[in-house]
Amino acid sequence: MRVLALDTATPDTVVGLLSGDGPVAERRHVPTPGERPGHVEELLGLAQALLAEAGLSWPDVDRIGVGIGPGTFTGLRIGVASARALAQAAGAELVPVSTLEALSAGAGLADRAVLACLDARRGEAFVAAWLGGARLLAPAAVPPGELGALAGGLRTDPGGPRPLAAGDGAIRFREQLEPAGFEVPADGSPLHRVRADALCRLALAATPVAREALVPEYVRAPDAVPKRSGTAPGTAS
């Protein structure tokens, strides 16, 4: 099965292609400091470049996986809308992938828990945790002061290795995580990025859904709330 997977939940634009039993090919755009995410400008070009390198075209894609978050509101909408449109055009199956699970799975650890931690802005972090493919903590938005309390529930063996925290939220909240018992890789570690190979492997194992059933996993209400139209409170309609 040929699987194309993408994620735009973080500032990075990530696209991966899994074709048969070969390795996953990855294309990524990382915005420079101060640069806005390039999801709209980069996503389709990255995907087309991967297909061209593999000698494939869109009708050759059997399944499209997309990271559904949590993450930035705009990034998630771009990713989900793009995946829906591409799947319809290619006649491919469509599957959702948890961005946090992909971040956790990308660490490649089976002997200790991995806390996926993304900077949620507004003074919070998006977190979830897995151990060897089993989810230990459901996705949630938590304030920095509560991150340390998560360590106890993720360390099943008091004498075993410390749980790992990965993601840009782990970098930002290192001062809360490390004293509580988490290991946080160096800031430049690839473990802090959503990896295409994890996205593709999870997409391969996922169950296809209808296009209208594919929705972002916001976890919390979006930052921007549309204004209500209509008459003012207390006035007749």
Long-range contacts of 184-188 (CB under 8 A, 24+ apart): none
Does the N-terminal peptide bond of residue 226 adopt cis geometry, omega within 30 degrees of 0?
no
95/115 same-domain check: no
Asked if residue 232 belongs to a domain, the reply is no
139/178 same-domain check: yes
Q: What is the DSSP string of 124-159?
A: EEEEEEEETTEEEEEEEEE-GGGTTTHHHHH-SSTT
93/156 same-domain check: no
Residue with more model confidence, 94 or 157:
94
Per-residue pLDDT at 54: 96
Asked if residue 185 belongs to a domain, the reply is yes
17/96 same-domain check: yes
73/184 same-domain check: no
Domain holding 174: CATH number?
3.30.420.40
What's the rounded mean pLDDT across residues 169-180? 96
pLDDT score of 215 more than 70: yes
pLDDT score of 225 more than 60: no
Per-residue pLDDT at 155: 78
Asked if residue 233 belongs to a domain, the reply is no
Residues forming a β-bridge with 125: 119, 142
> pLDDT above 90 covers what percent of the chain?
84
Per-residue pLDDT at 228: 53
CA distance 192 to 168: 6
Average pLDDT, the chain: 92
134/94 same-domain check: no
DSSP β-ladder status, 114-121 and 93-97: unpaired
Phi, psi of 16 (to 5 degrees): -130, 155
**What is the residue range of 144's domain?**
107-191
Per-residue pLDDT at 223: 58
Asked if residue 86 belongs to a domain, the reply is yes
Per-residue pLDDT at 234: 44
pLDDT score of 33 more than 50: yes
pLDDT score of 82 more than 80: yes
CB 218 within 8 A of CB 50: no
Asked if residue 91 belongs to a domain, the reply is yes
**Token pair recorded at residue 125:** 């972090």
What's the rounded mean pLDDT across residues 37-45? 97
186/201 same-domain check: no
pLDDT score of 226 more than 70: no
Q: pLDDT confidence of 222, banded at 50, 70, 90?
A: low
Helix and strand element counts for the chain (H, E): 7, 9
pTM of the model: 0.91
Q: pLDDT confidence of 159, banded at 50, 70, 90?
A: confident
Per-residue pLDDT at 22: 85
Residues forming a β-bridge with 29: 13
96/207 same-domain check: yes
- Burial (Cβ within 10 Å: 0-12, 13-18, ≥19) of residue 213: exposed
- How many folded domains does the chain comprise? 2
93/151 same-domain check: no
CA distance 135 to 145: 22
Per-residue pLDDT at 232: 44
Question: pLDDT (tens digit, 9 = 90+) per residue, 83-105?
Answer: 999 999 999 999 999 999 999 99
pLDDT score of 127 more than 50: yes
CA distance 29 to 69: 18
159/82 same-domain check: no
Per-residue pLDDT at 1: 94
- Burial (Cβ within 10 Å: 0-12, 13-18, ≥19) of residue 53: exposed
